[in-house]
């Protein structure tokens, strides 16, 4: 299996491509401190308008039974789709996640691709895999897309 680049690598930053969470934060003119993204340990590996790859540790995001919490997986899916265009504000308005396999350790990686990218809405397909490349979950995210408010 081919693993995505390590977080913070120089894998991007060509015209709208971002290779770290810090780059995404700077692109949106703010900070991702004190967000669910950092609380869950999500790391953006690459982000452009055509694909987004992010990963999240399983440890710290478990349910009491010792497996990955479905809500954490859903948060990874929403993060992947929402940061695709840092020059616009994207807010999830509908998310469907099918959980296919449980995970108890390691990392999960979400790779998202747009199915529709319009002026006011976008729809993203997100595939979540474990460290062995096995499909853990699939998600479909519908987003409202707006201009970033000035100021």
What residues are annotated to the active site? 78
CA distance 70 to 34: 21
Kindly give the residue spans of alpha helices, DSSP state H, lying in 1-147: 21-27, 36-39, 70-82
* Cβ–Cβ under 8 Å, residues 109 and 53: yes
Record the tokens describing residue 132, joined without a space.
Answer: 């062995």
CA atoms lying within 13 Å on the CB side of residue 96? 5
């Amino acid at each position: 299996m081919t693993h995505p680049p390590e977080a913070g690598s120089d894998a991007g930053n060509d015209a709208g491509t971002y290779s770290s969470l810090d780059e995404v934060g700077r692109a949106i003119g703010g900070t991702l401190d004190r967000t669910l993204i950092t609380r869950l340990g999500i790391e953006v590996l690459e982000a452009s308008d055509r694909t987004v790859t992010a990963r999240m540790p399983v440890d710290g995001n478990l349910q009491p039974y010792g497996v990955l919490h479905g809500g954490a997986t859903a948060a990874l899916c929403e993060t992947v789709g929402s940061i695709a265009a840092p020059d616009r504000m994207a807010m999830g308005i509908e998310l469907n996640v099918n959980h296919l396999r449980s995970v108890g350790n390691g990392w999960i990686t979400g790779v998202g691709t747009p199915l529709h990218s319009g002026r006011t809405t976008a729809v993203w397909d997100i595939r979540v895999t474990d460290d062995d490349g096995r499909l853990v979950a699939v998600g479909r995210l519908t987003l409202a897309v707006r201009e970033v408010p000035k100021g």
